[in-house]
Structure formats: structure tokens, C-alpha cells
Amino acid sequence: MSNKVGKAAYKPVGILLGLAAGAVAGVVFRQVWRVAAGDGEAPSATDENRRWGEILAAAALQGAIFAVVRAAVDRGGAISVRRLTGHWPD
């Protein structure tokens, strides 16, 4: 089986895993924010009642959580494709 087949096999899997990773990261972020800030809802960038520091901290935390979850899901998906096809999806 060629490497092109491994890449082709990973495309739809990667798309579905990306959507799932986004959903999981959103749930994780809301839980972490609730614990860290003691607030039920993270601030949006246009919330005039929140300070810059709070908004930027929430954005940084959300980005970090998303990146970690996405990397873990992508890595797991690539390992699964290698197990199924014998080739790493570059």
C-alpha cells in the first residue's frame, strides 16, 4: 500500500477528528475557565464589562487548550491510520 493511500485514508478521518477535537476543546476550556476564574462564562472580546487582562488570558488559555487537544487527536489519528494501513500519513 503506498503512502498516498495512507494520506487519502487519513483525510476524512482527520476532518472528523478535527471537528471532534474542537468540540472537546470547547468543553475542556469551559470547565477550566469555570475553575480558574470562578466565573461561569468566559469573556468575549467585545464584552465591555471585562478588562483587557481577563479577555486576553481567556483567549490564551482557550488557544493553548485547543492546540493541545488538537495535537493529541491528530497524533492518535495518525497512529491509527498507520496501524490500519502500515503507512504514516505525512
Cell representation of residue 58: 481567556
pLDDT at 3 over 70: no
pLDDT at 6 over 70: no
pTM equals 0.79
Q: Which three cell numbers stand for residue 46?
A: 467585545
Q: Indicate the average pLDDT of the chain.
A: 87
**Span 50-65, average pLDDT:** 94
pLDDT at 33: 92
Region 32-48: mean pLDDT is 89
When pLDDT is averaged across residues 53-71 and rounded to a whole number, the result is 94
